[in-house]
């Protein structure tokens, strides 16, 4: 058992829940920071059965003073900064807020660590979105150029570079995981994979007839969130901090993901038409199950993201295991079980 103490910001999100479970299993004392909410935001922690094992505290990333106090109160060995406005589409509607939480929020944390206890090891949740369309042809790695395509990506590039700066300037143990999309049944329902798994279940249960989506051609390198948190922890155990791409090395289109999700309930889709007229049709009865609504198009989108996790494999001993068809089936089956017992 490690006996170490970790502070996780964004504990109520997908990654916060899975990392907390992983660290608890390793014997950590886990402090979970969440912002004030008018309701209960611990649903994911409850679903993993760990809500009572987390030492909860309130931290708003726009407020420097409470970040500093949290560090003094928790005395962590490691801090994992997950708190973010993480929905890319929303960042076009809220560019200033997104920059404040994601960009300045991380800097407030770094500055607090530097002032309070610079020996604390820091993990920053960086993202493949920073690459933009720079990797159309090959696998993106730690040396690929950054060309952010959304306010979210710009905000994350700022915090990513601050992490590098605090490492260089102050010798602090700061690492960034450049994580490609990772999903699970705990994914927020506005993200494409969960929107599809949730929609497949609603259609199967007769509550709706189709799912309306945006850019069906977009390709992402999707992996399984519980596997990715293992790489995050491994980064902070290295003597030397650094940046690591965490990805599977395989990309699929949104259309492919829909095919896999419907196959999980025995439905084969056939695709007809192009652009806004494209539809995915149930081959057994001709019913339209996927259609396009331009309101889900983004002002700018990344057409294709595929990572090269060679460094994580070599230096962290990390390997992805779950395939995208398995991931889609896991998400659909979990949403189906939740619907049957009435939890969604």
Q: Is 73 a residue of the active site? A: no
Question: In the complex, what is the shortest distance from the CB of residue 41 to ligand F7E, in angstroms, rounded to a whole number?
Answer: 18
**Other CB atoms within 10 Å distance of the CB of residue 295:** 7
Q: Which residue is nearest to ligand NAP (CB)?
A: 13
The answer to whether residue 132 forms part of the interface with ligand NAP (CB under 6 A) is: no
CB 183 within 8 A of CB 225: yes
The footprint of ligand NAP on residues 39-68 (CB under 6 A) is: 41, 59-62
Interacting residues with ligand F7E (CB under 6 A): 86, 88-89, 127-129, 180-181, 190-192, 195, 213-215, 218, 220, 254, 296, 298, 301
- Closer to ligand F7E by CB, 271 or 296: give it: 296
Residue 195, SS3 per DSSP: helix
**Other CB atoms within 10 Å distance of the CB of residue 111:** 16
Rounded Cα gap, residues 193 and 212, in angstroms: 13
Phi-psi sector, 163: left (phi>0), alpha (psi -120 to 50), beta: alpha
Q: What CA–CA distances, in Å, run from 20 to 59, 194, 333?
A: 17, 21, 24
Binder of residue 306, out of ligand F7E, ligand NAP, none (CB less than 5 to 8 A by kind): none
The answer to whether residue 13 forms part of the interface with ligand NAP (CB under 6 A) is: yes
- Closer to ligand NAP by CB, 77 or 129: give it: 129
The answer to whether residue 231 forms part of the interface with ligand NAP (CB under 6 A) is: no
Burial of 4 (0-12, 13-18, 19+ CB in 10 A): middle
Residues in touch with ligand NAP (CB under 6 A): 10, 12-16, 34-35, 37, 41, 59-62, 82-86, 101, 125, 127, 179, 181-182, 188
**Residues with catalytic function:** 127, 129, 152
């Amino acid at each position: 058992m490690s006996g170490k103490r970790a502070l996780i910001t964004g504990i109520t999100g997908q990654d916060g829940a899975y990392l907390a479970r992983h660290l608890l299993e390793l014997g950590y004392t886990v402090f979970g920071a969440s912002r004030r909410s008018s309701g209960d935001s611990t649903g994911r922690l409850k679903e993993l059965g760990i809500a009572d094992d987390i030492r909860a505290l309130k931290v708003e990333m726009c407020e420097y003073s409470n970040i500093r106090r949290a560090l003094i109160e928790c005395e962590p060995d490691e801090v994992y900064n997950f708190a973010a406005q993480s929905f890319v589409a929303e960042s076009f509607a809220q560019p200033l807020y997104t920059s404040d939480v994601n960009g300045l929020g991380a800097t407030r944390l770094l500055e607090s660590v530097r002032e309070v206890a610079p020996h604390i090891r820091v993990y920053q949740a960086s993202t493949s979105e920073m690459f933009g369309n720079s990797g159309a042809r090959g696998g993106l790695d730690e040396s690929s150029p950054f060309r952010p395509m959304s306010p979210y990506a710009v905000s994350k590039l700022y915090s990513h570079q601050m992490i590098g700066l605090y490492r260089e300037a102050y010798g602090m143990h700061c690492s960034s995981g450049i994580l490609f999309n990772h999903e699970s049944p705990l994914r927020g329902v506005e993200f494409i994979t969960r929107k599809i798994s949730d929609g497949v279940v609603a259609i199967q249960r007769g509550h709706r007839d189709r799912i309306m989506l945006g850019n069906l051609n977009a390709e992402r390198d999707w992996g399984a969130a519980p596997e990715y948190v293992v790489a995050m922890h491994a980064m902070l155990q290295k003597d030397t901090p650094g940046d690591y791409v965490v990805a599977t090395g395989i990309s699929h289109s949104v259309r492919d993901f829909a095919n896999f999700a419907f196959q999980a309930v025995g439905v084969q889709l056939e695709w007809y038409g192009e652009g806004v007229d494209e539809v995915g049709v149930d081959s057994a009865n001709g019913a339209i199950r996927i259609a396009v609504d331009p309101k889900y198009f983004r002002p700018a989108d990344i057409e294709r993201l595929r990572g090269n996790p060679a460094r994580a494999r070599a230096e962290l001993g990390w390997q992805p295991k779950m395939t995208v068809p398995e991931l889609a089936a896991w998400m659909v089956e979990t949403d189906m079980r939740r619907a049957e017992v009435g939890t969604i």
